[in-house]
Amino acid sequence: MDGEMSYEEYVNRVKEGILTDAGNCPVTPLLEMLQGKWKFQLIYELCIKSPMRFGLLKKTLNGITSTMLSASLRELERDGLVSRIQFNEIPPHVEYSLTEKGEALLPVFYAITKWGCKYIP
């Protein structure tokens, strides 16, 4: 599958079933990366303000536990969507920001936003 397929080509080919060169669905890996209650929200918050410290992310994401925030950030970092920089200063702190790969999701968020504004009151 060509990663630079136009939207028109996509619409024409999607009913045939679009597969990667390895024979996989190209959407499944992204959905697995973003699976969970908090990952979309984390990426969205890092789109708004980046870099952000752990404590500010925790305050911003009302209801997330420290354990879940740590796990979600670790997974997003593992998948190359978020970068983590540790500052060994006094006091020590860590900042999180989107990587280039994470920022490349902005058009996806834009499309989801447009859909949500149209179909969800």
Q: What is the pLDDT of residues 12-55, one digit of tens each?
A: 777 777 777 777 777 888 888 889 899 999 999 999 898 999 99
In single-letter form, the type of residue at position 103 comes to: E
Model pLDDT, residue 21: 72
pTM of the model: 0.81
d(CA 30, CA 22): 16
Q: Are strands 52-53 and 82-87 parallel, antiparallel or unpaired?
A: unpaired
Q: By the 8 A CB rule, do 81 and 72 touch?
A: no
